[in-house]
Amino acid sequence: MQFSERIKGVKGSAIRELFKVLGNPAIISFGGGNPAKECFPKEWAAETAKQLIAEKGDVLLQYGPTEGYMPLRKAYLEKVLPPLGITDATIDNVITMTGSMQGLDLLAKVMINPGSTVLVEEPTFLGAIQIFKLAQANIVSVPMHEDGVHADELEQIVKETRPVMFYTIPTFQNPTGAVMNVEARKMTARLAAEYDMLVIEDDPYASLRYSGEVMPLIKTFDTSDNVILLTSYSKTVSPGLRVACCCGNAELVRKMVIAKQGSDTHSPNLNQALVAEFINQGRMPAHLDFINSVYSKSLNIMLDAMGKYFPEWAKYERPEGGLFVWVTLPEGMDASEIYKRSVAEKLVAYVPGAPFYTKPGIGDNTFRLNFSAEPEERIIEGIHRLGDLLKEIGG
C-alpha cells in the first residue's frame, strides 16, 4: 500500500488504543475523559428525541445546513455566549461542529500548510497534536506551569517563531488540569493582534469547576477578531452526541464551512436539536450543579486515596475543575512501562504522559488519571492497586 507522507509516523491516539483494553470490565479505567454514566440526561433525551421527531421529523431526518442547525446556533449566540462576556458576536460568527475535535481538524485544513508553525502548550491534548501532525505542521511549544503558560515565555516564543496559530486550553487544561493566569490570557489576545496569529481557545472543561474563581475567556480580551472559541458539549451533556459550537472571525468560519462541506456535510440534526433544546429549556445550570457535585466528590475520593496509597515521591496538584489529575514521577521512571504492568498485573488503566508531549524523550515520567468514569469503590481500589505497583517499582 502506498500511504501518504501525511500519515507516516503519526501514531494512533493513545486514548483510542486504550479503548481496546477497556472492553474488559475487570479493568478499572482512569484512562479516557469519559463522563460518568449517571450524568447523562437519559430519560430527558429519550422523551425529547421522540417529541422532536414527532414535531420536526421532516426537517431533522433530512439533510441540513453545513453551518449547523439554526436553533442551536441561535441558542449558542443568544444564551451561551453573553453570560461568558461575548456580546458582540453575530450569527455569522457561529457554526456547529461534530465535536470540537472536528473544529480542530477544520482549522488545521483552513490554516496550516505543510511546514507552517503551530504553537501549542507542552504538554497538551494529544488529539490536537495528532491533527497538527497530520496537517504536517511544524509544531513548537511553550512550557506549562502550575498557572498555565507564562506571558513572558509566550511572548518570546511567538516573537521568535511567528506561528500561524496558538492552540490553548486555558481552563482545566488537558492533561495538566492547570488554569492559565489572567496576565497570560491578556498577553495571548495581544499577541494575536500584534502578530496576526490565530488563537484557538479550546474550552471543553471550564463549566466543570469545583472550587476557585471563574476566569475570563481569552476571547473577552480579543481586539483583533483573531481568537476562535470552541465549546464542546461532550463533557457537559454527552460525548456520544458529538456536538460542539464555535465563535470566531466570520471569514474564518466561512472557510471552516467550506472545509466541513467536504468532510461530513453537516453534523447530525437530531443531536444538535437535542443540545439546542437542553439549552433553550434552561436545563444547563441545574445539570451542571448536579454533575459538578458528582465529579467534585469523585475527585476528592481519588485524591484521598492517592494521599493514602501513593508513594510520597509521586507528585500531583489538586485541580480546581476538569476531569484529570496529572502525576509526575521522579526523573528516570517510565510511566509507559509501568502502564504495561499496571494493566497486566493490577488491571488498572491510565494514560501515560509521553503522547501529550510534542517531542520524544520528555514527560516519560508523567501520567494522567481521570476520575469521572468509575464509581467510588473502584476509584479507591484502583488507586490502591496502582499505589502498590508504584511502591513495588520505586520503593
Ligand X SMILES: Cc1ncc(COP(=O)(O)O)c(C=O)c1O
Binding residues for ligand X (CB under 6 A): 33, 99-101, 125, 127, 169, 174, 202, 204, 232, 234, 239, 244
Q: Which is nearer to ligand X, 321 or 387 (CB)?
A: 321
Q: What is the DSSP string of 58-96?
A: HHHTS---TT--HHHHHHIIIIITGGGT--S--GGGEEE
- 136-170 burial, b at 16+ Cβ within 10 Å, e below that, comes to bbebbbbebeeebbbbeebbebbeeeebbbbbbbb
Q: Which is nearer to ligand X, 228 or 380 (CB)?
A: 228
Burial, 70: exposed, middle or buried (Cβ in 10 Å; 0-12, 13-18, 19+)?
middle
Q: Which is nearer to ligand X, 100 or 176 (CB)?
A: 100
| Shortest reach from residue 307's CB to ligand X, in Å | 26
| Shortest reach from residue 347's CB to ligand X, in Å | 23
Q: Nearest-CA neighbor of 326 among 124, 97, 119, 36?
A: 124
Q: Which is nearer to ligand X, 169 or 215 (CB)?
A: 169
| Shortest reach from residue 112's CB to ligand X, in Å | 17
Q: Which is nearer to ligand X, 298 or 390 (CB)?
A: 298
Largest separation between any pair of C-alpha atoms in the chain: 64
| CB-based closest residue to ligand X | 99
Q: How far apart are CA 149 and CA 120, in angstroms?
A: 10
| Shortest reach from residue 373's CB to ligand X, in Å | 12
| Shortest reach from residue 125's CB to ligand X, in Å | 4
Q: How far apart are CA 242 and CA 218, in angstroms?
A: 24
| Shortest reach from residue 163's CB to ligand X, in Å | 18
Q: Which is nearer to ligand X, 204 or 319 (CB)?
A: 204
Q: Which is nearer to ligand X, 96 or 342 (CB)?
A: 96
The strand order across the sheet containing 117-122 reads: 94-97, 244-247, 227-232, 198-202, 165-168, 117-122, 138-143
Q: How far apart are CA 107 and CA 112, in angstroms?
A: 8
| Shortest reach from residue 204's CB to ligand X, in Å | 5
